[in-house]
Structure 1
Amino acid sequence: MSSPSTNATPAPAPLIREANALREAGRLTEAEAAYVRILERWPALPDCWFNLGVVQRRSGRYQAALASYQEALARGVAGPEEVYLNRAVIYSDCLRQDEAAERELREALKLNPSYLPALLNLANLHEDRGQREEARTLYGQALTHDPMCFLALARLSNLLPGGAYDPGLIARLREAIARPEASAADRAQLGFALGRALDANGDYGGAFSAYQAANRDSRASALPAVVRYDRAAQEQVTEQLIAAATPRPLAPPGADATGPRPIFVCGMFRSGSTLTEQLIAGHPAVAAGGELDLLPRMIASELLPFPDSLATASQGKLMQLAAHYRDRIAALFPGAAYVTDKRPDNFFCIGLIKTLFPDALIVHTTRDPLDTCLSVYFLHLDHRMSYGLDLMDTGHFYRQYRRLMAHWKRLFGAGIVDFDYDALVRAPEATASALFGSLGLDWDPRFLEFPRSGRAIKTASVWQAREPLYRHSSGRARHYARQLAPLREYLADLLPAAGADR
């Protein structure tokens, strides 16, 4: 987020320009030091406090960032609603304190009731909590303030419960996509919502066409550096991980160790990981961590080049990293005996996980390959997961994922528990109770009664995970047999045998 308007107070302009340049270059440690030096001498500079908060947040120093943003507010920063928004994002996304996030967003809206970013973020927060009507009201308010807020229209459409969609809403989505004001990013948001509506109405040919167009628009809206999936590069990543030496695991924590034990839930996106996490978190000893960024941040800051660095990392270094991870989840989820880390692409990190946490429980979620790839293609993913923009690229990524998981299973065997989404929807209690047995957790059939609201779910599956178990997503690919024919042929050796129970 950019800085609010330039502060008019006389200031050491060359020093500020230097600090801003360091921030923009991503040299965060140096930028923070530069801002601190400036503010030690000239503390009445709200823009510098704001930018210090930006740097601290990007560095993962969230409490420090909150304090810096508060200083910016206390010193009269221009556009204070933006500062409240930034504080809300830290509370919600980084500290998992949703009540505090709501408080900050409502402060922003007190100052500026038509501030769209706060309206949209507050609506999204209600979505995370399963509060459908509250979210719909806020998206409606956003559209009242700005009828061309295409994101609000797309989100409002996605909030409708499953079943047939009103033809009037479908027409409204089509009209919005055709408007000249709609950017490629807007058309992508609207197009994915249109595809979902047409799919719900049983217009599968129309839905697939809408999703194709949405993925094209999503690609058009992305930066060139992240727009194209590189199959050869992905194969090289797989080869490197398979070839990498696995260090000697650290000793498991002693019986007197404190803090939660991690449960890693990983697999392909759209393979049932959110549902699996919510099921496990039904146990009173388990806190749902969601998609934590702790391992990717650890790799980026401490373990590059990865995975080669693992071969030379000292036991002391590895112990330090493991302790930091455990300290972070203990701080985020105080009192929990177990914490789930449900970042699907942590399947790349299983070697690291088993090195740092030899006692870690790893649940690998699986689902029918065609259903999985189709659901990925039908989801508006982050552009960094550019394989999702093309169905055959998704199939290629899926094949590389299966290669890597086969390698991890050879190394760690029973240390990785496979959990089949399709088996769960067919036989919920038998499948779920077996999972709990593998994790060493007591089973109670009431764990299958997923909460309709309250527990925050910060993934694309937020509403599916709140519904009773349903089978219409299992075998979904049958509605798209013609469109999936090339993918079916490409993945033929990975598909379940014809007639197999699904």
Structure 2
Amino acid sequence: MATVTHDEALAHARRLLNGQPGAALEQARAILAAVPASAAAHRIAAEALRRLGRDGEAADAALAAVGAAVHDEAMIAAALALAENRLPDAEAALRARLKEDPTDVAAIRMLAEVAGRIGRYGDAEKLLTRALELAPGFGAARANLATVLYKQNRYAEAVETLDAVLTDDPDNPAHANLKAAALGRIGGYDEAIALYAELVERFPGHARLWMSYGHMLKTVGRQEDSIAAYRRGLDAEPGLGEIWWSLANLKTIRFDEADRQAMEAALAAAEPAGAERDDDRLHLHFALGKAYDDAGAPDAAFRHYAAGNAIRAGQLGYDAAETSAIVDAAIATCTAGFFADRAGQGDPSGDPVFILGMPRAGSTLIEQILASHSAIEGTMELPDIPALALGLGREAKGEGRHWVAALAEACPDKLADMGAAFLRRTAVQRKTGKPLYIDKLPNNWLYAPLIRLILPNAKIIDARRHPLDCCWSNFRQHFAKGQAFSYRLSDMGAYYRDYVRLMAHLDAVQPGRVHRVIHEALLSDPETEVRAMLAFLGQPFEEGCMAFHTNARAVRTASSEQVRRPINRDGVDQWRPYAEWLGPLEEALGPVLDAYPEVPAGLI
């Protein structure tokens, strides 16, 4: 070894791997005796042990290589590029390393982080799975995998993965926090609340933990406890705008003058404008809009709503023309003949009930009513139909937005597989033995033709509310994610109009397949409307549906507290104090506004 350089010794060991793994192991160990921090030698030892069938020792050696990587200059440079968000530099360095040594699990994990940061979660998952094949005990990679699964809406798998992570690292608060969030997505509310209670006890000064705890308490109807949790978060961080908005988003709380002053002070502290404080500012603007609305000051309220919406619109960059183009394509493609040619295809299950339409149109109320029936289970807004549609587009056309064209080319087996995939993916949401279950994601209206094809026996209920009340309610609402159309009045009007014309087309080519519930009719004559809905679902009327507000089920949406009250008309005509500012909305709505609740002739 005295006359052989470290690099030469490594090269010799790598050559020995091909046919002489025992000798390669001896060589790697000799290198490590001289240079204990040689990550490359640890990796050679791991590969030699794998080839010798000594998998447990191989996994240990692979982990030793990860630990030794902190002394590797190339890996330090890649880590620095990641820390500085120079993702192209990091990716180039890591790919070069993996070309040289495909078993470098530290590099594999870091490359997965690059993929995750740019939204390539499938690639990140494959890389992390490979890292764990090589080093099953690599806890950081397993924790990263849990996050990637969560980001892909695979919450049950994320929980299972986190259980393994927490077994090895039980005191890690970040892992417990992610597990609580994932449990909340699959209805494991009691366990999630218990986890959050432990976390806030351990970290009482952590404002965001108090906020997450408050969210979960709100979901299960513990409103006073949720308010107390939010207030504890504000004690820790008075300027955290998202907590102020969380209080506003309860809908039932009224802010007082002290609250308004505290929010105005927090907003002033968040200036000047800048991307790093935009989230605080937009949340504070939405909350202040609610506060001034409570105080009967529409001028100030609208000023704050407009400011919050402008920030969020700038972040999202929504393109209304793209939604219109998808609707145009769906109308042109999904004709009566198109559906007739595919009759009998798809999965035959009649279990799902889809409640769709515009957000803030009363879908949560409808779900709460129906979920009070002995045969119908409420779940939540499920992400699976959009995911299936966009996946179809990417698979067939290379881009998710082309799902309509891909749908036209889908074979019968594909349609059946997609329907079965929806049932399989949503099974985790079913907690009872009830025969029907609800998916109330409003935005599923855009995918209603897809639903009709992959689940032809599923029921679709269209929740529709007066355009001005509905759209104004959206403009006042900051959504946790999605709903990018809702942050400009003109975009919202166009979105509502696109929604109406696609549903009108579906009525024309698939008559009787969608049951429409007009929100104002439901408020005026609830029993008649409830009986009609249940008849559409093939279920007998039950008095329990009329006492929906006593149902203790968890509700995740912004209307969670409103549906725990009897039917009322508090939300009707809330747009009127703001009428002078709604011109762009009215112009975009066009004839849909004047014709409501009918569909204007010639709209499609």
Selected match of 1:439 from 533, 537, 542: 537
Out of 30-39 and 120-129, give the one that drifted further: 30-39
Is structure 2 residue 521 aligned with structure 1 residue 423? yes
Quote the Cα distance in structure 1 between the aligned partners of 2:248 and 2:149.
36
Q: Distance in 2 between matches of 1:252 and 1:321?
A: 8
- Asked if 2 retains the 8 angstrom alpha-carbon contact of 1:20 and 1:31, the reply is no
For 2:421, the aligned partner's letter is H
Counterpart residue type for residue 187 of structure 2:
R
C-alpha distance in 2, partners of 1:212/1:19? 42
The correspondence for 2:189, drawn from 98, 123, 148, is 98
Q: For 1:468, what is the secondary structure of its paired residue? A: coil
Match of 2:300 in 1: 206
Is 1:144 matched up with 2:250?
no
| Alpha-carbon shift at residue 166 of structure 1 (Å) | 2.1
Deviations 1:330-383 (A, max 9, x none): 342141211111010111111111111221111001111111111111111356
Partner of 1:392: 490
Amino acid at match of 1:87: K
Q: 1:51 to 1:279 in 2, by over 3 A?
A: same
Amino acid in structure 2 at the alignment position of 1:137: A
Matches within 5 A, 1:147-162: 147-159=238-250, 161=252
Asked whether 1:73 is paired with 2:171, we answer no
Please, which of 99, 117, 123 is the counterpart of residue 208 of structure 2? Answer: 117
**1:271 aligned residue:** 361
CA distance in 2 between counterparts of 1:233 and 1:252 reads: 27
Q: 1:200 to 1:70 in 2, by over 3 A?
A: same
Identify if the C-alpha distance between structure 1 residues 499 and 106 changes in structure 2 by more than 3 Å, giving closer, same or farther.
Answer: closer
Pairing partner for 1:9 from 67, 81, 106: 67
2:573 counterpart residue number: 475
Identity across matched positions, percent = 28
In 1, distance between residues paired with 2:436 and 2:586?
39
Shift in Å at residue 30 of structure 1? 4.8
- Residue in structure 2 matched with residue 171 of structure 1 by the alignment: 261
Work out which of the residue numbers 322, 344, 353 in structure 2 matches 1:233: 322
Distance 1:144 1:181, change over 3 A: farther
Task: Say which of 424, 427, 435 aligns to 1:330.
Answer: 427
More helix by share: 2
CA contact (8 A) 1:80 1:108 kept: no
Contact persistence 2:372–2:551 (CA under 8 A): no
**Partner-residue secondary structure (3-state), 2:460:** strand
Tell me if structure 2 keeps the 8 A contact 1:126–1:135. Answer: yes
Q: Is the 8 A contact 1:23 1:55 kept in 2?
A: no
**How far does residue 287 in structure 1 lie from its aligned partner after superposition?**
0.8
**One-letter amino acid of the counterpart of residue 538, structure 2:** G
Is the CA contact 1:195–1:210 (under 8 Å) kept in the aligned structure 2? yes
> In the alignment, what sits opposite 1:192?
286
Query: Residues of 2 paired with 1:319 and 1:355: CA distance?
Result: 9
The answer to whether the 8 Å contact 1:84/1:107 transfers is no
Measure, in 1, the Cα distance between the counterparts of 2:468 and 2:198: 46
Q: Flag structure 1 segments of 5+ consecutive residues without an equivalent.
A: 1-6
Residue equivalent to 1:339 = 437
Q: Distance in 1 between matches of 2:535 and 2:295?
A: 40
Larger Rg: 2
User: What is the total number of aligned residue pairs between the two structures?
Assistant: 482
SS at match of 1:476: coil
Distance apart, 1:9 and its partner CA: 3.3
Q: Which moved more, 1:177-186 or 1:230-239?
A: 177-186
1:392 CA drift (Å)? 1.6
Relative contact order, higher structure (CA 8 A, sep 6+):
1
Change (3 A) 1:392 1:19: same
The answer for unaligned runs of 5 or more in structure 2 is: 1-64, 76-103, 395-401, 599-604
Structure 1 residue 88 corresponds to structure 2 residue 186: no
1:87 CA drift (Å): 0.9
Q: What is the TM-score of this pair, normalised by structure 1?
A: 0.87
**2:512 match: secondary structure:** helix
What CA distance in whole angstroms lies between the structure 2 residues aligned with 1:388 and 1:203?
A: 23
Letter paired with 1:91: L
How far is 1:317 from its partner?
1.8
Q: Deviations over 1:78-117 (max 9, x none)?
A: x810100111111111x22111222332343354333333
Shift of 1:316: 1.5
Give the direction of change, closer, same or farther, for the CA distance of 1:56–1:499 in structure 2 (3 Å limit).
closer
Q: How many angstroms does 1:68 deviate by?
A: 3.0
The partner residue of 2:449 within 337, 341, 351 is: 351
